[in-house]
Amino acid sequence: MSWLSDWPRPRGLHWLLLISALVVAADRLSKTWVVRHIRLGGAIPVLDHVLRITHWTNEGAAFSMFADSASPNLVRWGLIVFTLLAALCVLIALLRLGDRVTLTTVALALILGGALGNAHDRIVYGSVVDFIEVHIFTYHWPDFNLADSSIVTGACLLFLDSLLPRRKSDS
């Protein structure tokens, strides 16, 4: 792969990949614990009327989009392909930008870890385990997991970074 040899040697890349690996590990451990300790459809209250640890599976995309599709196998493999392509793009961006640990590269590492965590579930189990249920007053947020949280946190960090002023050396 000669096209990779033209890129600068990433000094911070091992730390960024460690962040991604920790996200995948925490996601796998949390989902495994939920599957072993909470029956499907069950819940453990953490903060009454605010937060519960639940056990649900999601065959669709975010907020269960496409979960009721007439072609669930097509949806599953479509989501797997899309997720792995997106993860590959993020990994390439990390390889290009990973010479330093910055807000952008940490955000990308979080997104990569979250994408790989959910892709693992879809490939191995055919669905994603969701287990964090949040209620804010009368609003019920759809259940999610640590991989989802990592992706959203990474996206928010990217947005925040886009709002920060740039130094002359960054341009």
Give catalytic residues, as residue numbers.
130, 148
Question: Region 31-39: what's the mean pLDDT?
Answer: 97
Q: Are 24 and 117 in contact (CB under 8 A)?
A: yes
Task: Tell me the pLDDT tens digit for each residue of 45-89.
Answer: 999 999 999 999 987 666 555 555 656 678 778 889 999 999 999
**pLDDT on residue 98:** 75
CA 63/CA 58 separation, integer angstroms: 8
Q: Are 154 and 139 in contact (CB under 8 A)?
A: no
Q: Is the pLDDT of residue 149 over 80?
A: yes
Q: If pLDDT is split at 50, 70 and 90, which confidence band does 7 have? A: low
CA 160/CA 148 separation, integer angstroms: 18
Q: Is the pLDDT of residue 21 over 80?
A: yes
Q: Are 111 and 151 in contact (CB under 8 A)?
A: yes
**pLDDT on residue 100:** 87
DSSP percent split of the chain into helix, strand, coil, nearest 5: 60, 15, 25
CA 43/CA 65 separation, integer angstroms: 23
Two tokens, residue 3: 């096209």
Structural domain boundaries in the chain:
11-164
Global confidence as pTM = 0.85
C-alpha dist (Å) from residue 22 to 19, 30, 70, 148? 5, 12, 36, 14
CA 101/CA 64 separation, integer angstroms: 34
Per the listing, tokens 């479509």 go with: 78
